[in-house]
Structure 1
């Protein structure tokens, strides 16, 4: 029979073991699937500023770092130091519509006709199409691999940089695929969860990819509805929602270049937003809408890419998905909606700070709409890299 002393000793040991177990259990980080999403905050619109691009340090056409002036290299290095001090761990460059790995939506119907063939050759076809786009577009509205390489070299390799390719199809599902690909890529680079800040720089409809990305990371009504469509159509892997929940606690800085105003952002207190738009005019609204031949008003594609401007998907399955997404994201294809949206002439959204910049690409009496892609291709040109990156460093990190 147990004595009182033995009984008390047993109780003490039991309590000690239970207490130590609770202590170490509480110290463990929560499982990604159990992490509550980062709480949303109302979008904040910061004051808009009007700026003028100045070519004070001309860019050498070779595109090589050692051919640039010492002042250019010094200022770019300072940009990298400023961004790095803010704990930025990765920089993404995202292209816009029609400059990606499947701009004309060729792969979806190919997958429907020859699923096995498409699966084997999909990556090869995407790489070949992207290389063809890079050769044709060069640095006009397109982030070239050499552009990203030069930026990384110029900032002294302080932060890893790379491009994220998405199909660039001009419809809801194409952009939602881009957002899913961004989540997957983040998970591959940060398998243990988000680290530091992530800087994402996107041209044109990359803004919509960013907006969908924030919705998928959140617990918003729109985010839940998007995940339901993804689940119903079996469009992603089963662990993607858990990965998205994990990365909802990351810190993200979004920079958009000439982006149309379409989808809403799900904003948290760990996000920052900066928008650069090629603009000439007295106020915040787009002006000189009829003088598009000389790009007198700046970026016309930023206006034309508004709601209703999507193109028809090439496969039946994608058209079905887009009809479902129409109910969530607004009409993708609708001439009346498009005409009404263009007539509003809106440049500035309701989140973050917008910089209206005269990039000096107006043709005057010269017809220059095609070489400048109606004022939409200036943002990714090599010659404005230093100017844009100094703006990013100043408004987001200084």
Structure 2
């Protein structure tokens, strides 16, 4: 793990910020990056509780389509963007500013998934992510020598881990396909396989911000991982309200912290044996007792990528100060990509 200091001298969309981002864009272009995809974290999507999966069949019977469900998802996401802004989230305004700062030479887009805090939601998000990536590769005619950069907050990293597991196509992927066969909400396996074949033609650069170390990563050669964690010292619960020690969600949002899924609960729980224990109090207690930062790894516990421990300087003495932190923090994350 590497420790870095945090530089927050430039404000979002200031001339200095734009100049530095433009320099980053040139660096990305020199490294053959063609597309940047921004992925939000848990509870920042368009179906955080998974309720729309329940409503869609009713919508189809009433309207012959999913127009009501789709509208509710879209409006709900807009409201969340307004309220959450850049907290575990990427907004359309940020994506636009990012693309503009890169001189529009590299495409930049948002990816929205349900964002539920349970296995099936993440698996569904991964399948949708694979479809999105395959479409980008086809539409932008991305070559096998070029790269796609994935940036993700929090549990977006679990989607990336699952994607690399599918790309590895080992025993774990086969077990996930078995789960898909028994689900009404996870889509078509043949379509996923087709999308994965397209993704295998390009290289993936993956950067995560505050992703809890949960799902194992695939042992697959055509991706690179950089995990960035807000860190100041070993995580102790006494410093929680002021984020004294850094990112507590990254430290403790691990095995055992899932919520109940609204449907297909038994199928979701079958994934405990494949991924990790989603809802498990003993596992949660063990996680709270662990004060050290973890390293991303494969199913065989082989370390994956590089972990950067960065002091974001967002620690506060009081709760009121914690809630008044400048939103520019999250915008500066990209300086370390």
- The TM-score with structure 2 as length reference comes to 0.89
Aligned to 1:348: 294
1:204, distance to aligned residue in structure 2 (A): 0.3
Query: Which of these residues, 240, 258, 264, is aligned with residue 292 of structure 1?
Result: 240
Match of 1:357, SS state, is strand
1:55, distance to aligned residue in structure 2 (A): 2.5
Aligned to 1:34: none
- Kindly tell me the number of residue pairs found equivalent between the two proteins: 323
Match of 1:143, SS state, is coil
Aligned to 2:85: 138
Aligned to 1:168: 115
* Per-residue CA distance 1:285-310 (angstroms, 9 max, x = gap): x3332211111111111122110100
Match of 2:238, SS state, is coil
Query: Which of these residues, 248, 251, 254, is aligned with residue 206 of structure 2?
Result: 254
Residue 182 in structure 1 maps to residue 125 in structure 2: no
Contact 1:293 1:367 in 2 (8 A): no
- 1:1-398 aligned at under 5 Å gives the runs 48-57=1-10, 59=11, 65=13, 68-69=14-15, 71-111=16-56, 113-117=58-62, 119-191=66-138, 195=143, 196-233=146-183, 235-237=186-188, 238-281=190-233, 286-315=234-263, 317=264, 319-349=265-295, 350-365=303-318, 367-370=320-323, 381-385=327-331, 387-392=332-337
- The TM-score with structure 1 as length reference comes to 0.76
Structure 2's unaligned 5+ residue stretches are: 296-302
Deviates more, 1:360-369 or 1:165-174: 360-369
Q: 1:72 to 1:119 in 2, by over 3 A?
A: closer
Tell me the C-alpha RMSD between the 2 structures.
2.1
Look at both structures and tell me which one has the larger radius of gyration over its CA atoms.
Answer: 1
Match of 1:277, SS state, is strand
Contact 1:147 1:382 in 2 (8 A): no
Aligned to 1:31: none
1:139, distance to aligned residue in structure 2 (A): 1.9
C-alpha distance in 1, partners of 2:247/2:283?
20
Aligned to 2:298: none
Contact 2:137 2:199 in 1 (8 A): no
Structure 1's unaligned 5+ residue stretches are: 1-47, 373-377, 393-398
C-alpha distance in 1, partners of 2:41/2:207?
13
Match of 1:293, SS state, is coil
List 4+ stretches of structure 1 deviating above 6 A. Answer: none
Match of 1:264, SS state, is coil
Q: 1:159 to 1:224 in 2, by over 3 A?
A: same
Contact 1:214 1:266 in 2 (8 A): yes
Match of 1:302, SS state, is helix
* Per-residue CA distance 1:317-341 (angstroms, 9 max, x = gap): 2x12211111111110011111112
* Per-residue CA distance 1:5-28 (angstroms, 9 max, x = gap): xxxxxxxxxxxxxxxxxxxxxxxx
Q: 1:326 to 1:158 in 2, by over 3 A?
A: same
